[in-house]
Amino acid sequence: MAAGPARRARRQRKADPMPRELPLRYGMNPHQKPARVYAAEGDLPLEAVSGSPGFINLLDALHAWALVKELKAALGLPAAASFKHVSPAGAAVAVPLSDAEKKAAFVDDMADLSPLAVAYARARGADRMSSFGDLAAFSDPLDAPAAELLAREVSDGCIAPGYAPEALEVLRQKRGGKYLALKIDPAFEPPALETRQVYGLWLEQARNAVIPGPDICKNIVTRCQDLPPFAVRDLVVATVALKYTMSNSVAFAKHGQAIGIGAGQQSRVHCTRLAGSKADTWWLRQHPRILEAEFRPGTSRADMNNAIDQYLLEHPTPFEKRVYKKAFVKAPRPLSARDRRAWLGQLDGVSLSSDAFFPFRDSIDRAARSGVRYVLQPGGSERDDVVIRACDEHGMVMALSGLRLFHH
């Protein structure tokens, strides 16, 4: 009696457009085999249209997809994210790039950037060092310009709700045909309850289904009350990114993109310092000396990034100097402390979001050094009044969202 239903189930699986499970190359590490992804009920909402995924690929892909889907829902703009090890290296919406931003993102030679390609150029441009070998996510079906940009970068894979035929053709030529491209059903919604197994025990909670939108910025508590639309947009970008960043986390944003994400720190001020240092690097990459520097022919994009990163070190060792100088036809003159202060002093209008309250004013003081003028945080600390005074002293606008967004 059991054989009949089993045969019918097998025939049904063959007829289904998507399978119920997908084998993975291995688990978190190569020695963790076997590994798979499966749907407890119904079919999988995703399929690999190119390549074969691993366990971490899927962790990154599913979190990254949720992020860009929510960014598109919150702001109505095409969105992209660059994920590494279950946190975003960058996230962005399609806001036109300046000439300096194009050059810093290595896309100044691409004439026809689609909005989706612009969003990814911004997302990857947030922290190009951390985006090396990323999992890219796109809110809309991948078009040819975005695929051409992906083809130029060191990337492990991507996820999107669809692929234009010409885009898929480009991606299938990457990495000898092994480049991972995942297609996800945009209509799929996870169950209201989510579970996780840790050390043999099951944990269950309501899924965090809140989509942070512009309304979270309404409760302004500082003397300065002027929160322009661009700042609201940037605060939403930063906040949605934090929702899928390992806590504690703080994000800086400008021009519709994260420019520095401080992820996974036990101390909030260390999150702010990390995010601030990345934001500073994002801005320093647009210094004229770097934009005008000429790389040696044949230098890879990854080596260009490494050279710029080492050039921007405040105190490089002789070994580091020797390495970065090899990448340039003529190495740019080092930035002095005065040069740095003058250039960083021009960074302004930056937005900052935090996944939980600030227990002290130290994060606000550090943020001010990186041009932060707009702040969003949940509030609820016993020292909220101290943090508000700090914002007032720096001329910042701060709103309290009342929404904590821890993610682990």
Is 208 noted as a catalytic residue in this protein?
A: no
Is 85 noted as a catalytic residue in this protein?
A: yes
The alpha-helical segments, DSSP class H, found in 285-317 are 288-291, 301-311
Cα–Cα distance, 73 to 91 (Å, whole number)? 14
Question: CA 64: distance to chain centroid?
Answer: 8
Structural contact between residues 147 and 141, judged by C-beta atoms closer than 8 angstroms: no
Tokens at residue 206, please? 């309501």
The one-character DSSP state at 296 is P
How far, in Å, are 105, 281, 316 from residue 332 at the CA level?
18, 16, 14
**Which is the catalytic residue, given 85, 103, 321, 325?**
85
Tokens at residue 210, please? 């809140």
Is 408 noted as a catalytic residue in this protein?
A: yes
**Which is the catalytic residue, given 63, 72, 84, 287?**
84
Q: At what angle do helices 268-284 and 337-344 cross, to 10 degrees?
A: 100
Secondary structure in 3-state letters for 40-80:
CCCCCCEEEEECCCCHHHHHHHHHHHHHHHHHHHHHCCCEE
Backbone angles phi, psi at 9, to 5 degrees: -65, -40
Neighbour count for residue 237 (Cβ, 10 Å): 33
Structural contact between residues 173 and 194, judged by C-beta atoms closer than 8 angstroms: no
- Any residues with CB less than 8 A from the CB of 317 and at least 6 apart, and which? none
Is 84 noted as a catalytic residue in this protein?
A: yes
**Which is the catalytic residue, given 14, 31, 315, 408?**
408
Tokens at residue 65, please? 């997809």
**Which is the catalytic residue, given 248, 254, 306, 394?**
248
Catalytic residues: 84-85, 248, 408
